Structure 1
């Protein structure tokens, strides 16, 4: 469902659903696996399911932003890309600035919320844990874990999405599709 929802913003990008599914799966799996193997999280449903849901939903939103920005950038910067291609650039080289901008756009909301964490906004998970009786430092630890997991998952998912999606804007002769 997360892949489907994020791919809806990528209408016009072939294989957007599969790209979204792959990016979310790889991003969430890598970060969850690292935290499970290091012992930060225990392999129990009450820890893995809520944290996994949080990072997957964050990746879904970020991928949707990436798709929207990518479609917009390729439309607005079409001449720039075509000029670079005409001068001998590969599609990857011609798209580099667009891909960089798209990744920044996908990461921006998460990075901004991480900057103000605990200062401007008290996250729901941390507040809930404190109200449930958990020591505040322990609640902060869990919130930091979720924040870093979310940043990691979203970074991986945005990178994979951009690397797979930009190629769909070019044909097999390295020309920009119209």
Structure 2
């Protein structure tokens, strides 16, 4: 069970599961499962690499799996919200996008406001929880460490690390997912596809 290969396979299974769930929220997203998997994998790898190379955690299941669970879970929620907002905005702002296309803009400049709004929407829960950290609700990890006998200052350091870790992961995952997904709202002739 302490094998790095087992840990890696477990992480890939967790990421795949999260991608499947995120994809359920974005049924109108073309290749949603692949995009979700790539986005969550990228966000998780970048964040975990920083934590591992900085020495904050070791690549052992008892350390990597709980931290990865928080990372992957937050990415999944962020992607679900981003997909929902992306689809809603393409439906709502179809005329605006088509006007930009008619005036000669390419698909990315025509969609940039929609993409940015979707990324922002995906990050709202993480940003809100970071803003009210320790004021509105005591975070679970910090409380657990304190109850487990860890010094409060150490527990707070870990919670700050976790907060920045979650912010970076949701930002990376939402960014990648939205920039990969927006193309699915256009056909090969650069026309906005009809959304029911």
* Fold equivalence (TM over 0.5): yes
Q: Which residue of 2 aligns with 1:131?
A: 147
Matched, 1:140 2:156: yes
**Alignment of structure 1 residues 25-40 onto 2, 5 Å:** 25-40=41-56
- The structural deviation recorded for 1:84 is 0.4
Q: Which residue of 2 aligns with 1:106?
A: 122
Runs of 4+ aligned structure 1 residues displaced above 3 Å come to none
For residues 58-91 of structure 1, the C-alpha deviation after alignment (integer angstroms, 9 at most, x for no partner) is: 0000000001001100000000000000000100
Q: Which residue of 2 aligns with 1:20?
A: 36
Q: Which residue of 2 aligns with 1:59?
A: 75
Q: Which residue of 2 aligns with 1:165?
A: 181
Instruction: Say which of 72, 84, 91 aligns to 1:68.
Output: 84
Question: In 2, Cα distance between the equivalents of 1:162 and 1:13?
Answer: 10
Give the TM-score taking structure 1 as reference length.
Answer: 0.98
For residues 137-172 of structure 1, the C-alpha deviation after alignment (integer angstroms, 9 at most, x for no partner) is: 111111111111111110000000000000100111
Number of aligned pairs? 178
- The structural deviation recorded for 1:13 is 1.2
Q: CA RMSD in A?
A: 0.7
Q: Which runs of 5+ in 2 are unaligned?
A: 1-16
Q: Which residue of 2 aligns with 1:155?
A: 171
For residues 89-108 of structure 1, the C-alpha deviation after alignment (integer angstroms, 9 at most, x for no partner) is: 10000001101111110011
- The structural deviation recorded for 1:44 is 2.0
For residues 106-144 of structure 1, the C-alpha deviation after alignment (integer angstroms, 9 at most, x for no partner) is: 011100100110111100111011001000011111111
Higher RCO (C-alpha 8 Å, min separation 6):
1
Q: Which residue of 1 aligns with 2:22?
A: 6
SS in 2 for 1:41: coil
Instruction: Say which of 58, 67, 83 aligns to 2:99.
Output: 83
- The structural deviation recorded for 1:45 is 1.8
Question: In 2, Cα distance between the equivalents of 1:87 and 1:124?
Answer: 52
Give the TM-score taking structure 2 as reference length.
Answer: 0.89
